[in-house]
Amino acid sequence: MGKRKFTGLESTLIALFCLVTVVAIVLIALLASGQPGVQISTEQNVTEFTPVCPNILIEERIDCIPDQLATKSICTLRGCCWNPQNDTSVPWCFFPSNHGYKVDGSLRSTETGFEATLTRLPSPSLFGNDINTVLLTGEYQTSNRFRFKITDPNTKRFEVPHEHVGPFNGSAASNLNYKVEVKNNPFGIVVTRVSNGKVLFDTSIGPLQYADQFLQLSIKLPSRNIYGVGEHVHKQYRHDVNWKTWPMFSRDIGPSGSMHNLYGVQTFFLCLEDSSGASFGVFLMNSNAMEFAVQPAPAVTYRTIGGILDFYILLGNTPEQVVQEYLQLVGLPLLPSYWSLGFQLSRWNYGSLDEVKKVVERNRLIDLPYDAQITDIDYMENRKDFTYDKVLFKDLPTFASYLHGFGKKYIIILDPAISTESLSDGSRYDSYYRGQSKQVWVNESDGITPLIGEVWPGRTVFPDYTNPDCTSWWVEECRLFNETVPYDGIWIDMNEISNFVQGSSNGCAQNDLNYPPFTPSILDKLMFSKTLCMDAVQKWGKHYDVHSLYGYSMAISTNEAIKTVFPGKRSFLISRSTFVGSGKHTGHWLGDNAATWEHIKWAIPGMLEFNLFGIPYIGADICGFFDDTTEELCRRWMQVGAFYPFSRNHNAEGYIPQDPAVFGADSVLVKTSKHYLNIRYTLLPYLYTLFYKAHTQGDTVVRPVLHEKFSLLINLISNMRVVSLFMFQGVDVIQAYIPDAVWYEYETGAKISIRKQWTDLYLPADKMGLHLRGGYIYPTQQPAPTTSESRKNPMGLIIALDDDNKAYGDLFWDDGESTEIKILGVLQEITGLTVTQNNDLQPSLHNITYYPSDKVVHITGLQLELGKSYTLKWTQQASINERFDCYPNQNSTKEKCEQLGCVWEQSPSNPDSPSCYYNSDNAYSVDGVEYSSSGLVANLTLNSTNARANDKYTEPIGTLRLEVKYHSNHMLQFKIYDYQNARYEVPVPLNLPSSPVNTNENLLYEVSVQRKPFGIQVRRKSTGTVIWDSQLPTFTFSDMFIQISTRLASQYIYGFGETEHTMFRRNMSWHTWGMFTRDQAPTYKLNSYGYQPFYMALEEDGNAHGVLLLNSNAMDVTFQPTPALTYRTIGGILDFYMVLGPTPELVVQEYTELIGRPVMPPYWSLGFQLCRYGYRNDSEISQLVEEMKAANIPYDVQYVDIDHMERQLDFTLGARFQGLPALINKIKEEGMRFIIILDPTISGNETDYPTFSRGVEDDVFIKWPNTNDIIYSKVWPFLPNVTVNESLPEQTQIRVNIAHAAFPDFLRNSTVEWWKREILEFYDNPRNKSLSVKFDGLWIDMNEPATFYNGALEGCRDDLLNYPPYIPHLGFRSDGLIVKTPCMEGEQHLPDGTPVRHYDVHSLYGWSQTKPTLDYSSPSCRASLCIAVLRVSSIHILHCASPTTDLYYEISWSRCYFSYSLIGM
């Protein structure tokens, strides 16, 4: 997209050119009359040289002054022959026979052919720095391919680092179809066809010139049938040999009637020798600026200003064979994806995405066959690559999905130049910064400083695609952008490379690279015009040498990006600039043409030439890029453009729209466009087969008739299909030549009766001439508006018989995009594969990769040959265990399941497996991974098309960040959080090193991040065992539902709680366990008192590791036999810690080192202890103690439960326990210990209860949010002076008899101080010393926190928190989270004053009560060991088992103690 017609400089130069022309005419007149001309000086003394000027035919003269207007004085200084003519196109100054080189000695045979030393003949220098001795090397590479190159044996010169054309490693071929003769003095090389003795290639017509910056070789040819060399506008396919000079140097200039050097460089030409079809090709491997001159001898001359002369001569019996030979050498063209053969729409500057969608919709409504929509640079933010305009194109991230809904594809444009400026919001432009950090730019002549230019986004740098680091950067940028704005293909533009300032923003230095002694006849005659300084530095060399390779290297890098973004698939890539061999990677279009009748004609030779060059995926902008089209021109162009290999309607900004539908649904243009596009889609199987043949054997796709009928040099066929063209305005009758073959009208099937003559064809406004050649079978398919639809339709054949009533044809058919074998819908993992051919087993080093979430198998490395038939057989294993539950909520139904885009399939054989399961990737991918020695950081990008949500609270968050930290050699952390919106994080302190303490070589683990879909993989380095792999479809992160799954290394998983398990090892057969602290006696599958989100896993080889999820919200975990584990939590973040052991004991040690070592109990607490709920008075306890002593039963500790309190009020003594203080003192004197109980809730109905009143003063209770009101529920304290009627229902008794209970917020600092004071005063009563209770330890209970009333007295106020969208697998799920606990909206405060919801910290309640209780569990033992025993457990907490009801539970709980040992208790 060159998008500017003429710069100011160009306009000035045009004017100067006109002036020079006038001066030239005057000078010609002067010279012809013998008047003196311009005098120039020379560094070489030429007085001793006398040119030998034999009577050379005018048409065989080789120009000696190609660089300027010829004068006799210059001619004399150059030692050449002067003979002016009356035709200024003829060289007046031409080389004599004694210029050039001679063979020094004789030819020397080599393994590949021969070599010879050439010495320069004494003669004046044209441009200085001639190389006096050069080396000729000849190689008989194949029977049809001869190579010779001429190099400097003393100084290494630049050679093109081509991926296909390189050193020849074979030996000389035999049975040659050519003969090579080397002439000695002057040197020349002659190649003759053996079969008929015809001289094909003869350089003795002119002298070899070999200077540092001027190399020239002329070649006499056997005929004037010369085709190829580019990129130019050749107004006819066959070269006009009347003294034309074509420059070659990639340039940002659109096609015109001038002989400008255009976008790419193609140095190959084909010569048809005669009517027999015998042909040969010539290819010069050189990328420096050059020119190609043709003359009527016939002869051609290559002049280049650098590198070496490296020629290939390729023979064939037909033109098609020559092209095949050439493409086998430089690289066979790509096989395009099937969809890319569909029609495409594009324009520069639609203005907005809304306008793009209008174009899509109006062309859909007319049922126009149409497969792809393209947007130009206007989609970008300020024309910066890898950005999009968030105002005018704000919905671009979903545009591809929108098109996919219609079976269409989305293609973006990318330019190479990268802006150095910030984004419009002031934030940094990450693509630039990432490239800058990797130093991937083209540099100034110092090789260090990035060269700064100016292109569409303003001030820019230029990626150096010849640098592998640049390719890696480019691939990553394409990948990252695809995760933000999904796309299906890439169009690369401006890669000549184009620059809007001359050379660089600093100008270009005065040197021989920027201003060489000889400048080819390139546009502007200035090397760095509209491009970079020639002394700029790239990885492959100076820009002077590699300039014309820029588009080639960019195409290679972009193709690598396509392989990464679309693994295993063929996508779409077109490039404006090309070089030899580009067709392996990219297609091409003919550039920024104009809406004129000339341009519709000139496109035909251009497409024919690019088929010669091996770039058959070629087209021109239909209806013209520049200028307003007309209905007639666009109608005729749509008719012929329907048969371009690359068929795209594209135009520039500022001109009228020209998509077909804009002309009106009932217009002739729309009707005829649909008609011929439907024919195109009908014949797409045939066109696709042509591309297959091009890809596998180098056939042309669009070819001239001369490839089939060698005496004909006119018209156009697309293989065997002839398109008769109309190239003139207002014409409906054309003259067409009918070649000597059977031809049929496509639309009627009628046989054309005439042949070998011209005929008039009537082509009204809606018709074009379309004919099929007899003797061929054309595969067809019923058309549809898109290829994705048409490929589902019935196929057919058109059989066109020849004169012998015979026809043949073939068809290549595949899925249209794959580059590997994929087997879709594989419900079972493939465990074995065999390959046979004709029942013979074939050796196969294949790789099988199974993606269970996709049910897809990729098979690579089969090394099968195209064109041969093979049979693949495989064995499988069952995979129902790969199902991951897509609807873990209550009341799953098929309708609810399918609303989430999941699969509903019940399995009678395994009823515990999920009936609703995922069948697609998770919605996240990875963006911008930054690695360091201590971990990595990456952003996660949300792909909205895969997102699943029931409401806004479960809508996935798109601003996630992953942090991985390598804390030590055996411990790592990976954390996922919302980097834009702070979320609750667990305030439990962990023992982490202040900075990582690890060494890379000693790490026990390796971490890798899977990019798309997102996943984390952790592998044990010593064994390679994957111990965590979360690249599964379940991952989602929303405000109130977070889910992540991981594959496990084995079935041996231990831990998680607090829930009752029937065995120590977890049952992996589809079991789900809830975690949320609750006053729940041990019952199978019900969440109980504590919260332990930690597990230990044994690996198959006996190694062990442990995983902690630091999250305190309600959650559940599902175990399945994959083996895999799924976490689901309803808040907070994901904060995982993994310890690597490697033994189970080390795992526990490393875990407790992280969370805190278990408390060291006092020795006496290890003795037997006695307790019950229901002691009647202190006398009963006293009697019990005496009886135990009398029975000599070992016995260290006596407890008392809440019955010692006055109406269950903490820190009180009931009337029946007034003697308790004395009893405690007595048994302590006898060597025993005493423990009392405390519950957290405090009665609020008392008139004289200091504990409550002081708590109110100290603001210690949980309150309703944004109020000063305490949340009350009902627990133990009874109202005063009530008599309980036990015959009433339980909830009625609670409501009538039990006091209002407030819940201390133990997270607050003030609560800790209040609790401390209440414990100390109960221990040492300041009002009545006789009532001091000298306990030795405390037992805290009911601290889940428990209530006897769900929620609060007046009910809860926030249904969303109490009944969240997802309620984990807890007991009584339908009743929400408030079963036997307070309301979730209760407001608490962290020690720093930060408010938190009880919803988030509920399961930390017992944890928060523990430390202040332990600190003051016995004020008398501050310097020794005391004990606090509690019912709720979390990390850091000592725990006791809870009440059991029978022997079964006693046994179960004895097992649970193993679990508590595991989690550090």
Predicted pLDDT at 1419: 54
Contact (CB, 8 A) for 1179 and 1222 = no
Q: What are phi and psi of 1207, to 5 degrees?
A: 50, 35
Name the DSSP letter for residue 1271.
P
Task: Please name the helix (run of DSSP H) or strand (run of DSSP E) that holds residue 1017, with its range, or none.
Answer: strand 1015-1020
Task: Kindly state the average pLDDT of the residues 830-847.
Answer: 82
Cβ neighbour number for residue 896 with a 10 Å cutoff: 16
Please determine, for residue 667, whether its predicted confidence score (pLDDT) is greater than 80: yes
Residue 822 in this model has a pLDDT that exceeds 60: no
> b or e along 752-762 (b: 16 or more beta carbons within 10 Å of the residue's beta carbon)?
beeeeeeeebe
Higher pLDDT, 172 or 846: 172
Window from 100-104, 495-499, 591-595, 876-880 with minimum mean pLDDT: 876-880
3-state secondary structure at position 1104: strand
Structure tokens at 466: 């010849």
Confidence band, pLDDT 50/70/90 cuts, at residue 333: very high
What is the mean pLDDT of the segment spanning 754-781?
88
Sheet bearing 1337-1340, strands edge to edge: 1169-1170, 1197-1200, 1233-1238, 1337-1340, 1427-1430
Please indicate whether residue 515 or residue 909 has the higher confidence score (pLDDT).
515
Q: How confident is the model at residue 817 (pLDDT cuts 50, 70, 90)?
A: confident
Using DSSP, state whether 16 is helix, strand or coil: helix
pLDDT band at 1142 (very low <50, low <70, confident <90, very high): very high
β-pairing, 1272-1273 vs 1242-1243, is unpaired
What is residue 949's predicted lDDT score, i.e. its pLDDT? 62
Give the model confidence (pLDDT) of 475-493 as tens digits: 999 999 999 999 999 999 9
Token reading at 806: 């015979």
State how far the Cα of 9 lies from the Cα of 20, in Å rounded to an integer.
16
Of the two residues 1061 and 683, the one the predictor is more confident about is 683
Tokens of 1003: 């790490």
Instruction: Output helix, strand, coil percentages for the chain, rounded to the nearest 5.
Output: 25, 25, 50
Both tokens of residue 199?
A: 């001289």
pLDDT at 109 over 50: yes
- Is the pLDDT at 824 greater than 60? The verdict is no
pLDDT at 1: 46
Residue 35 has pLDDT above 80, yes or no: no
| pLDDT of amino acid 874 | 78
Is the per-residue pLDDT at 1443 higher than 90? Answer: no
C-alpha–C-alpha distance, residues 1148 and 523, integer Å: 76
Q: What is the mean pLDDT of residues 1284-1294?
A: 82
Give which of 345, 419, 437 is closest to 381, Cα–Cα: 419
Tokens read off for 981: 């919106």
Distance of CA 1149 to the CA centre of its chain: 42
Under the banding of pLDDT at 50, 70 and 90, the label for residue 1156 is very high
Distance CA 373, CA 674 (A): 17
In this prediction, residue 823 carries a pLDDT of 64
pLDDT, mean over the chain:
89
Judge whether 380 and 350 are in contact, CB under 8 Å: no
Q: Which pLDDT band holds residue 1463 (cuts at 50, 70, 90)?
A: low
- Note the pLDDT of residue 945: 65
Helix (H, G, I), strand (E, B) or coil at 1321: helix
Is 650 a residue whose pLDDT tops 90? yes
d(CA 562, CA 487): 11
**pLDDT tens-place string over residues 1276-1287:** 888 888 887 888
Query: What average pLDDT score do residues 1130-1159 get?
Result: 95
Does 624 score more than 60 pLDDT?
Answer: yes
Q: Give the whole-angstrom CA distance, residue 881 versus residue 877.
A: 11
Distance CA 192, CA 198 (A): 5
Confidence of residue 842 (pLDDT cuts 50, 70, 90): confident
Closest residue by Cα to residue 82 from 67, 99, 94, 74: 94
pLDDT at 665 over 90: yes
Residue 521 has pLDDT above 50, yes or no: yes
Output the CA angle 890-894-895, nearest 5 degrees. 95
Confidence band for 998, pLDDT divided at 50, 70 and 90:
confident
In this predicted structure, what is the pLDDT of residue 9? 44
Where are the strands (E) in 582-698, listed by range? Answer: 588-589, 618-619, 621-622, 648-651
**Binning pLDDT at 50, 70 and 90, where does residue 869 land?**
confident
In which band, very low, low, confident or very high, does the pLDDT at 106 lie, cut at 50, 70 and 90? very high
CA–CA gap between residue 1057 and residue 1055 (Å, rounded): 7
Q: Which pLDDT value is given to residue 1159? A: 87
Predicted pLDDT at 195: 96
Integer angstrom CA distances of residue 930 from 90, 591, 964, 1000: 64, 39, 10, 17
pLDDT score recorded for residue 828: 57
Give the range among 250-259, 702-711, 910-919 with minimum mean pLDDT.
Answer: 702-711
Please give the pLDDT value at position 1397. Answer: 97
Q: Distance between CA 1261 and CA 1267 in Å, rounded?
A: 12
**Closest by Cα among 225, 259, 263 to 244:** 259
Task: Establish how many alpha carbons lie within 13 A of residue 985's alpha carbon, considering only the half-sphere containing its beta carbon.
Answer: 12
pLDDT of residue 208: 98
Average pLDDT over residues 433-439: 97
Over residues 359-376, the pLDDT tens digits come to 999 999 999 999 999 999
- Residues 881-891, mean pLDDT to the nearest whole number: 91
Q: Cα–Cα distances in Å, from 966 out to 764, 961, 1006?
A: 75, 17, 10
CB hemisphere CA count around 766 (13 angstroms): 10
Name the token pair of 142: 């194949």
Distance separating alpha carbons of residues 572 and 336, to the nearest angstrom: 7
Report the range of poorest mean pLDDT among 540-544, 729-733, 740-744, 1415-1419.
1415-1419
Banded model confidence at residue 39, pLDDT cuts 50, 70, 90: very low
Output the CA torsion sign for 1297, 1302, 1306, 1310: negative
Mean pLDDT of 615-638: 97
Q: How big is the chain, counted in residues?
A: 1465
Is the distance from CB of 1155 to CB of 1113 less than 8 angstroms? no
Cα distances from 716 to residues 322, 709, 1310, 1409, in angstroms, run: 19, 12, 92, 89
CB 826, CB 856: distance < 8 Å: yes
How do residues 930-960 score in pLDDT, each as one tens digit? 888 899 999 999 987 667 666 678 899 999 9
Residue 624 backbone class (left: φ over 0; alpha: ψ -120 to 50; beta: rest): left
SS3 for 828?
Answer: coil
Q: What pLDDT sits at residue 48?
A: 85
pLDDT digits (tens, 9 = 90+) for 1237-1255: 999 999 998 778 999 999 9
